[in-house]
Structure 1
């Protein structure tokens, strides 16, 4: 218990986490198996013939990588074999009560995506850099939201209100940036708006002990209605002054932005995306290597024990929920300052709920939640790319794709998963 003393220094490993290895769970093998069967049907039974070309370089890259042609039928056979082997391996791990490594899920997902792209892009050229750039852009707000969700739930508060924090941040950033003519002022306004929304969540769930899920849903509905009303009554009639569409320009990092494939994706982005890189690193390091992170995780796992050694549970929860709101507010700013510019009614389109799914899929870990958000962003952008190359995949399916991936990922591929022990449970000091 002494490791939680107020003046103690945190160890380098996540002491507050409890491993889950003793319960046999077949969720992951079933999820892998479902995708493997779908691959057999799509790539084997209903296979296409021809060649799909993958363009790996853009015109401005230092090195012009060649376009890679893949035979659709041959690629499908290889993909089915790899997915079947992965499924068998995951079933073996489940039978022995062992957790599925992250790299297995990552390899399985990448192979499945390559096979699907080859099948849907038969006879066409798929611009890989453009696909990845768009995917990162759509993932950025999800990553901010998932980081806020990880912090909030790790400290013991379920953050259903990410959607409301997104909307508040988007609205405030667009209006304040238009009034001042400065995107930086809009960015600060988004942070403040996210914090204000999180104050409401924290006050009702921590101080007044209201059910956290209900509070989050009510906040989302309230912010959606409020921003929609202000948009129609205030912003829309005064677009020239209150909704100009000010945004950050992309800032290319010299040299790095010319690297094939990864250069345009990671190093030719707006300031908000670069802040996202910093946020992911800061939350990961802070959560697992600092005294702040140790206290946060202790409060989310066992608030009674944390209280016993002198940690103020109520204050720790309140201020970390506020920090989570600030980070989610940055995600809201991306919708305006980093993307389209002007604010539009309900422009977040449920992204906050997908960010919450990324938290669960990522097992409440900042890095894994970021990877999950990238997966969902990739699925969202895939519909744009496949539509542009006139893929035979029905447009209705492409619109459903991000949500299908979300449902399967959370329900099937997570496997055995346990959130912080005290998450969602109010703490009453005895």
Structure 2
């Protein structure tokens, strides 16, 4: 097997698995740039996955192939609303943001499993009939070499996620809204002095993070998992959180890190097709993403500096 054949396996698989991580990591960037730590990305992904599958199952007989796309949109809205629990606790009640995020993780998983058992009388939903399938991108897939590597057998959601990353970069660094968002995460008192509503901006950052994490969970459920159970989302939210930190709280950095972790995740699926990985036990390939996460955060990030006010509740008038 030559190098092009190997890359033709690795690159589409990486794009396939990275899309949910990209979207969720971008959500973390918005939240933490506003000054609110969001450990609850895993729980928000869980709620998004649950919402997307339930919605798709309910409407698939009516709208057919459009049902998973509608399910993903519902997931974004549902997780955006669910993230208000974290916003209220962290911003209004000034609770410990890490504890609040952990609580969101437990609450989302517990609530989702409880509702699944009530609705389906079992621990998982049925499988959806329509998924976000891999496709060959018209015209682009016909380009010699590049078309086969990047535009063949890849879901559209992967390219949407990459496009959203560039849009997020533009919003955060090139618009007045992004400047206000970053200012309340770096120096909320100065931002308040300039007339920026710190509470409103932090609520907005957390809600956007919920929307993106919901999109990530919905994409994962409708393109990869196909149903919802307790283990559907098992660590992807934490990988996205690591990608955000590895990317130094920058949308394009998070994009690159999510692609890196997506590659690591895909190895457990495609490892048997790659000559030099065929003899590795599958359990080793499965744990590679988490080992690489630890190594990346411990040894390769360098001096990754978070927004200065992240994790610190803002009390008006208090230095």
Q: How does the TM-score come out when normalised to structure 2?
A: 0.90
Partner of 1:360: 245
Please tell me whether residue 395 in structure 1 is matched to residue 282 in structure 2. Answer: yes
CA distance in 1, matches of 2:124, 2:231: 17
Please tell me whether residue 221 in structure 1 is matched to residue 169 in structure 2. Answer: no
* Deviation of 1:299 (Å): 0.6
Selected match of 1:273 from 135, 155, 158: 158
Please tell me whether residue 370 in structure 1 is matched to residue 255 in structure 2. Answer: yes
Larger radius of gyration: 1
Partner of 2:170: 285
1:170 and 1:333 in contact (8 A); partners too: yes
Selected match of 1:202 from 87, 102, 113: 87
* Deviation of 1:396 (Å): 3.2
1:136 and 1:265 in contact (8 A); partners too: no
1:145 and 1:355 in contact (8 A); partners too: yes
Q: Cα 1:55–1:236, aligned 2, differ >3 Å: closer, same or farther?
A: farther
Partner of 1:428: 315
Deviates more, 1:372-381 or 1:205-214: 372-381
CA distance in 2, matches of 1:249, 1:292: 35
2:14 and 2:259 in contact (8 A); partners too: yes
- RMSD (CA atoms): 2.0
Please tell me whether residue 158 in structure 1 is matched to residue 37 in structure 2. Answer: yes
Secondary structure of 2:83's match?
Answer: helix
Q: Cα 1:227–1:314, aligned 2, differ >3 Å: closer, same or farther?
A: same
* Deviation of 1:249 (Å): 3.3
Deviates more, 1:317-326 or 1:300-309: 317-326
Please tell me whether residue 331 in structure 1 is matched to residue 216 in structure 2. Answer: yes
Q: Cα 1:400–1:300, aligned 2, differ >3 Å: closer, same or farther?
A: same
Partner of 1:140: 19
CA distance in 1, matches of 2:300, 2:110: 35
Higher RCO (Cα < 8 Å, 6 or more apart)? 2
Please tell me whether residue 180 in structure 1 is matched to residue 59 in structure 2. Answer: yes
Selected match of 2:204 from 310, 319, 338: 319
Q: Cα 1:245–1:342, aligned 2, differ >3 Å: closer, same or farther?
A: farther
2:42 and 2:233 in contact (8 A); partners too: yes
Secondary structure of 1:180's match?
Answer: helix
CA distance in 1, matches of 2:123, 2:239: 32
2:124 and 2:229 in contact (8 A); partners too: no
* Deviation of 1:231 (Å): 2.4
CA distance in 1, matches of 2:150, 2:44: 26
* Deviation of 1:309 (Å): 0.6
Secondary structure of 2:307's match?
Answer: coil
CA distance in 2, matches of 1:327, 1:345: 21
CA distance in 2, matches of 1:239, 1:419: 38
Secondary structure of 1:416's match?
Answer: coil
Structure with greater helix share of residues: 2
What is the aligned length?
Answer: 308
Unaligned runs of 5+ in 1: 1-52, 58-126
Deviating above 6 A after TM superposition, structure 1's stretches of 4 or more consecutive aligned residues are none
* Deviation of 1:54 (Å): 2.9
1:139 and 1:374 in contact (8 A); partners too: yes
Q: Cα 1:265–1:139, aligned 2, differ >3 Å: closer, same or farther?
A: farther
Unaligned runs of 5+ in 2: 61-66
Selected match of 1:411 from 295, 298, 314: 298
* Deviation of 1:385 (Å): 2.8
1:245 and 1:342 in contact (8 A); partners too: no
Please tell me whether residue 386 in structure 1 is matched to residue 271 in structure 2. Answer: yes
Partner of 1:310: 195
Partner of 1:54: 2
